[in-house]
Structure 1
Amino acid sequence: MHHRCATHHDYRRCAVPIVVDGITPSEQIRAELAAEGKPVLLGFSRGKDSLAAWLAMREAGIEVVPYHLYLVPGLRFIEDSLKFYEDFFGTPILNLPHSTLFRWLNTLMFQPPERAAVIEAAQLPEPTYEELADLIRTDVDLPAAWNADGVRAADSPNRRMAMVTHGPKREHLRKVSIVWDWRIADVREALARHNCPLPPEYEWFGRSFDGLDFRFLDPIRRHAPDDYERILSWFPLADLEVFRRDLAR
């Protein structure tokens, strides 16, 4: 299990934070949440932005209750990574199924015909993010906890527009984008300053695991063959995604 480490001299804190008129800076949001003195949930994808969000909240003195939503059960490289971050932060991480897993199964993605009747009979639920957050709040007995994410306005024009339209703090959903005004340089600097490594798949495909298309499947096949077989046990025809690309070469 290897994690890629950022170093202090790689990045310097020279980025100017995103500023949007009428929207509270993230540093102030974190200070206000710290002053409330209550734990805050964090959707933890193990990606760079969710790591930065966790580090920022920890620096602000906020107690973080992290949860991870898995796309395929029992992948070793993800389980090992979660254990690493539990040790790194000294905090247990809830590990629960992502509603996308249920959606993939319900739409029979990469499923052979003989599985269709069983999957359809199961009538798997497809909870929204908000419903999942409410279930987690109930599970950890934090009924009104804020639910934080690492969404940043600088990440894409769509995310900036969403931040301008809805703001980083949505009271009715108890949802907050805790580092909304950070640029990528801020993220890298925070990781470097805390010597916080990225998960191994950043070396494989430049981001955290996020789908069942070729850009994820082929590197997993090469770097984690046991996990690739695990994916195929859930989605047997996913192998065709790789086979089709191999034929095209």
Structure 2
Amino acid sequence: MSGLDKINHPRGDALIAEYKERYGDKTLIAFSRGKDSIATAIALRDKIEMIPFYYDDIPGLQFVDESLDYYERTLFGRKILRMPHPTFYKQLTDGLFQPMRRAEILGAAPIPRINHADVVKMVKKQEGIEGDILSATGIRALDNAIRFMSIRKHGPIRPSAGNWAPIWHWSKKELLDNIEASGISLPADYTFLPRSLDGWSYLYLIPLREHYPQDYARIIEWMPLAEAEIHRYEINQRLTA
């Protein structure tokens, strides 16, 4: 037993109908290009108007742009908004992987500090949306115990958090089956990264250097000392060999 029978919240079309009754016929969707957000878009397709936006970790990465273009054509039928990732600005002002002199300049520069609520405001302004609207996410109750308890306690529609979870009741098998049945492909980086892009550890940098050297070079332009992360890994490998 998965335990989902203990959660008496609306699901599927009933959940979408409840959302539309409360917030209208549009929803934002924070589209990470990962399997959870792809499945969420598939579940909502043809049932509600989606306004997808993507948090850009570093602007202009080819493998990201290629996949976003693919999902614009095959999944959304519209432009996916590219929005600045709050973490990207924070990494710059914190001097992550920056030489000393450059870190000093970035630290003194008027780089804005933004959060996810600020990004949502920018999306709404760009789309001319007034009033309340939530972001659809791929959170599922069976992901882990914390999410299970959160969904059970707060439900799949969470105005205080600004989001809702259309596929909260799906198992991982249901998620993968729905993606396969849709004919929509996972992004190319799923074939060589441990998961969709999530930071700048050696787990991502080494495969990117091999498969997308031009994107790796762009990352190094923004964060020159990221190469030190690879060197650290290589040294540790030699020491433990």
Indicate the residue corresponding to 1:33 in structure 2. 19
The answer as to whether partners of 2:19 and 2:157 remain within 8 angstroms in 1 is no
The question of 1:212 aligning with 2:222 is answered no
Which residue is 2:122 aligned to? 135
Confirm or deny that 1:23 pairs with 2:9.
yes
Residue 157 of structure 1 and its aligned partner are, at CA, apart by 1.9
- Is the Cα contact below 8 Å between 2:72 and 2:78 reproduced in 1? yes
Q: 1:146 aligns with which of 120, 134, 143?
A: 134
Q: Deviations over 1:157-187 (max 9, x none)?
A: 2222332333221124442112111111111
Q: How far apart are the structure 2 equivalents of 1:43 and 1:182?
A: 18
Matched, 1:74 2:60: yes
Q: Which residue of 2 aligns with 1:86?
A: 72
Percent of residue pairs bearing the same amino acid type: 32
Counterpart of 1:111, as a letter, is Q
Which one of 141, 157, 163 corresponds to residue 145 of structure 2? 157
Corresponding position of 2:218:
230
The letter for the 1-side match of 2:49 is: E
Give 1:107 deviation, angstroms.
1.4
- Deviations 1:173-225, CA, capped at 9 Å, x for gaps: 44211211111111111111111100011111242111100111111011111
| C-alpha distance 129-26 of structure 1, shift in aligned 2 (>3 A) | farther
Amino acid at match of 1:223: H
Q: What's the RMSD between the two structures over aligned residues? A: 2.0
Aligned with 1:46 (options 6, 9, 33): 33
**CA deviation profile, 1:133-167 (whole Å, cap 9, x unmatched):** 12211221122222111111111222223323332
Moved over 6 A (4+): none
TM-score by length of 2: 0.90
| Structure 1 length-normalised TM | 0.87
Q: Say yes or no: does 1:64 pair with 2:50.
A: yes
> Residues 16-47 of structure 1, C-alpha deviation per residue, up to 9 Å, x if partnerless?
79344343324421133356652110000000
Identify unmatched segments of 5+ residues in structure 1.
Answer: 1-14
SS of the residue 2:103 aligns to? helix
Structure 1 CA distance, aligned partners of 2:205 and 2:142?
28
Cα distance in 1 for residues equivalent to 2:78 and 2:177: 22
Task: Give the whole-Å Cα distance in 2 for the aligned partners of 1:220 and 1:74.
Answer: 14
Structure 2: how far apart are the matches of 1:223 and 1:192? 25
Q: Are the counterparts in 1 of residues 29 and 53 from structure 2 also a CA contact under 8 Å? A: yes
More relative contact order, 1 or 2 (CA 8 Å, 6+ apart): 1
Distance 1:154 1:114, change over 3 A: same
Point out where structure 2 has 5 or more consecutive residues left out of the alignment.
Answer: none
Relative distance call for 1:177 and 1:119 in structure 2 (3 A) is same
